């Protein structure tokens, strides 16, 4: 079986090949998915696009791609897209060949580099190439390295509070009391990706809870 540039097996466009893939649901205002390799790669990709959407720029539904069985240019190497280990983000805004400084701010470029570092060397951004491709992200680590990063991500997700836990924190702790907001603050920092949106939603929920409590008999 041929391998892509990163050494991972090419996923053929067959029924057996497609069974190795999964839908990566992209964040944003409109539902959109791309296909990536199921398992550890999907876990890494899900973490990456969520962080990219939050820290770099909003992900747009058009111009995002994943699995694509093709060579790099005229060959002979298979693209990492062929192994379902690469995805492109916001292609119209970040076209192939554009210098990152032409399409991104310094802060956005810094965040892209931060995501590379946080991936423990498993992810690589095409914006740093000599022939830049700022839309492009790919897995360049070995399967063992990808497995370690995916496990790290899953462990961090397991530590995140659930929505039910956040609601219980609001019900049991008044944000105005000393120390009462600690639980909610921790939940916001670790469990929600968009801080501003989360704060607005929690403020609304707190107001709704207070309204319901006002209608209950004092004994309750």
**C-alpha separations of 202 from 152, 157, 170, 198, 214 in Å:** 28, 20, 8, 6, 18
How many domains would you assign to the chain? 2
pLDDT at 211: 58
Same domain for 96 and 191? no
Q: Would 183 be classed as within a structural domain?
A: yes
Same domain for 62 and 150? yes
> Tens digits of per-residue pLDDT, 129-187?
999 999 999 999 999 999 999 999 999 987 666 656 666 665 665 555 555 555 555 55
Q: Would 8 be classed as within a structural domain?
A: no
Q: Provide the domain limits for residue 187.
A: 160-215
How does DSSP assign 132-164, residue by residue? --TTEEEE-S-HHHHHHHHHHHHHHHHTSPPHH
Same domain for 129 and 53? yes
Cβ atoms of 90 and 15 within 8 Å: the answer is no
Same domain for 143 and 168? no
Question: How far is it, in rounded angstroms, from Cα 119 to Cα 153?
Answer: 10
**Among 138, 155, 172, where does a domain finish?**
155
Q: What's 141's domain CATH number?
A: 3.30.1380
Q: Would 64 be classed as within a structural domain?
A: yes
User: pLDDT averaged over the chain?
Assistant: 85
Same domain for 145 and 205? no
Same domain for 107 and 193? no
Q: Cα-flanking dihedrals φ and ψ of residue 6, to 5°?
A: -85, 0
Q: What is the pTM of this model?
A: 0.74
């Amino acid at each position: 079986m041929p391998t892509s540039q990163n050494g991972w097996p090419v996923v053929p466009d067959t029924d057996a090949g497609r069974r190795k893939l999964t839908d990566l649901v992209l964040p944003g205002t409109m539902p959109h998915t791309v296909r990536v390799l199921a398992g550890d790669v999907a876990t890494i990709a899900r973490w990456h696009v969520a962080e990219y959407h939050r820290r770099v720029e909003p992900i747009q539904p058009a111009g995002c791609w994943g699995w694509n069985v093709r060579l790099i240019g005229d060959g002979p190497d298979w693209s990492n897209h062929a192994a379902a280990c690469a995805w492109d983000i916001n292609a119209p805004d970040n076209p192939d060949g554009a210098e990152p400084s032409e399409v991104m701010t310094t802060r956005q470029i810094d965040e892209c580099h931060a995501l590379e570092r946080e991936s423990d060397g498993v992810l690589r951004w095409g914006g740093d190439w000599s022939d830049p491709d700022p839309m492009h992200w790919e897995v360049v680590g070995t399967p063992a390295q990808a497995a370690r990063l995916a496990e790290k991500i899953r462990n961090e997700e397991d530590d995140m509070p659930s929505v039910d836990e956040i609601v219980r924190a609001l019900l049991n702790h008044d944000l105005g009391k000393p120390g009462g907001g600690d639980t909610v603050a921790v939940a916001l920092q670790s469990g929600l990706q968009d801080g501003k949106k989360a704060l607005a939603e929690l403020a609304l929920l707190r107001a709704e809870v207070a309204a319901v409590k006002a209608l209950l008999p004092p004994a309750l």
